[in-house]
Amino acid sequence: MDYWVIIRIGEKPKGPYSIDEVVNLPLSPESLVWHTGLSEWLPATSFDEIKGIFEEEPEAAEPAAEASLAEEAPAEVPAAEESEPAEAVAEEVVESDEAQAENEVADEPAVAEEKTDIPPIPVMPPVFRPGNSRTQAQTAQQPPQFHAAQQQPLPQQQPLPQQEKPECPPTYLAWSIVFTIVCCWPFGIVGIIFAILTRTRFNRGNYKGAKKASEVAEWMCILAFTFGLVFWPLKLISL
Amino acid sequence: MLAVVAAVVGVVVYSAYDPSASQLFPKCIFKSLTGYDCPGCGSQRAIHSLLHGDIAAAFGYNAMLVCSIPYLILLIYAELFRKKVPRLHSALTSVTAVLIILALVILWWVGRNIFHV
């Protein structure tokens, strides 16, 4: 991987360097660094592999930069994964599925290495324009989630999401499908619809609404079951 | 628990008796009222055939029931071990997945009445 460096703002970019050469350069925390795969210049402090050399100085944490780094990672998200990010932070991730792994990293700075193998790799560093704010310069190249990520509070200051976010209430989806097929489709289909509602509301952060929809879905299953239980004896009597 | 009991009773009843030969099994209300098949029509006969190992006949009675079994098994597994397989669980119950299922059910319902499958 080639690194290019602007040691002092206003100077010309120098490079390419290897990472071993970069860490021996007279960098300051304000120095800008770019390497293949990045879309724009970032402060030297936002690179995990470089910031070690500033150890003595108080580390200027760069949450915004890290958030934007993380957002570059997901290239494609499988269709079924629409709701994945919300769920992923809500639950402990035990299994790692490669396609999804990149998707949930929004608050883990450790992604820095992952995105180096993103397909469109610029060979030369982009032009650094001191006048432009970084966010303006890069919006066009960012995936859509970028804006959402920016409005969020800084990742470092958030409490751990695992503890914060409630678990998605049960959708009773399996039951609804079973009842649709086996017993009473009107209840089953309404149950499926409320299973969808549960998930949609949960994904939007409407936890109360999700709970309500979940309860309706549960009631649909109970109704379907009762209906089945009552219906069979009735049928027997009428014979 | 209730589910397990119901499942066991169901298996016993549906493997012992043939729903198409007995008067005791409930008929579909929707079908008796409208004359059209509902998405679940034929599932009793299909379950009976499945329990006797005749997958082809089951498919003929209610194709959707047979097709949905692998998904349902996965889904039940994911519900039971949700902590262990959170990704599988959220993929199976994601809005997209459920919308696809709903669409399939409705397509199946309309399709079977048009093409008489």
Strand, helix or coil for residue B40: coil
**A90 pLDDT more than 80:** no
Residue B117, pLDDT score: 66
Whether A181 and B26 lie within 8 Å, measured CB to CB = no
- Closest chain A C-alpha to B59 CA, distance in angstroms: 13
Residue A161, pLDDT score: 46
Residues A124, A48, single domain; the answer is: yes
Q: What span, in angstroms and rounded, lies between the C-alpha atoms of B43 and B95?
A: 26
- Structure confidence by residue, pLDDT tens digits, A104-160: 444 444 444 444 454 455 556 666 655 544 444 444 444 444 444 444 444 444 444
**Overall number of domains in chain A:** 2
Residues A117, A26, single domain; the answer is: yes
Token pair for A49: 């592999």
Residues A190, A154, single domain; the answer is: no
**A178: chain B residues, CB-CB within 8 Å:** 72
Q: What span, in angstroms and rounded, lies between the C-alpha atoms of A82 and A103?
A: 10
Q: Residue B35, by phi and psi: left (phi above 0), alpha (psi -120 to 50) or beta?
A: left
Whether B43 and A182 lie within 8 Å, measured CB to CB = yes
> Last residue of a domain, which of A113, A135, A161?
A161
Residue A125, pLDDT score: 61
pLDDT band with cut points at 50, 70 and 90 for residue A238 = low
* A15 domain residue, yes or no: yes
**A64 pLDDT more than 80:** no
Could you list the residue range(s) of the whole structural domain that residue A198 is in?
173-238
Strand, helix or coil for residue A4: strand
Residues A155, A178, single domain; the answer is: no
Residue B23, pLDDT score: 67
Q: What span, in angstroms and rounded, lies between the C-alpha atoms of B21 and B24?
A: 9
Whether B40 and A180 lie within 8 Å, measured CB to CB = yes
Q: What span, in angstroms and rounded, lies between the C-alpha atoms of A188 and A195?
A: 10
**B80 pLDDT more than 70:** yes
- Structure confidence by residue, pLDDT tens digits, A52-61: 777 654 444 4
Residue A144, pLDDT score: 42
- Structure confidence by residue, pLDDT tens digits, B38-54: 888 888 888 888 888 88
Residue A233, pLDDT score: 65
Q: What span, in angstroms and rounded, lies between the C-alpha atoms of B77 and B85?
A: 9
CB of A184 within 8 A of CB of A175? Answer: no
> Last residue of a domain, which of A138, A161, A184?
A161
* A168 domain residue, yes or no: no
- Structure confidence by residue, pLDDT tens digits, A173-199: 888 888 887 777 788 888 888 988 888
Residues A84, A139, single domain; the answer is: yes
> Last residue of a domain, which of A161, A181, A198?
A161
Q: What span, in angstroms and rounded, lies between the C-alpha atoms of A112 and A108?
A: 9
Residues A223, A186, single domain; the answer is: yes
Read off the pLDDT of each residue in B69-92 and give the average, rounded to a whole number.
85
Q: What is the DSSP string of B41-87?
A: TTHHHHHHHHHTT-HHHHHHH-HHHHHHHHHHHHHHHHHHTTTT-HH
Domain-wise residue ranges, chain B: 10-115
Token pair for A178: 């079973």
Averaged pLDDT score across all residues of chain A = 65
Residues A144, A216, single domain; the answer is: no
Averaged pLDDT score across all residues of chain B = 83
- Closest chain A C-alpha to B73 CA, distance in angstroms: 9
- Closest chain A C-alpha to B35 CA, distance in angstroms: 15
Whether B91 and A81 lie within 8 Å, measured CB to CB = yes
* A210 domain residue, yes or no: yes
Quote the distance between the C-alpha of residue A161 and its chain's center: 12
- Structure confidence by residue, pLDDT tens digits, A209-235: 888 899 998 888 888 888 877 776 665
Residues A181, A87, single domain; the answer is: no
Residue A129, pLDDT score: 59
**A181: chain B residues, CB-CB within 8 Å:** 39-40, 43, 62, 64-65, 68
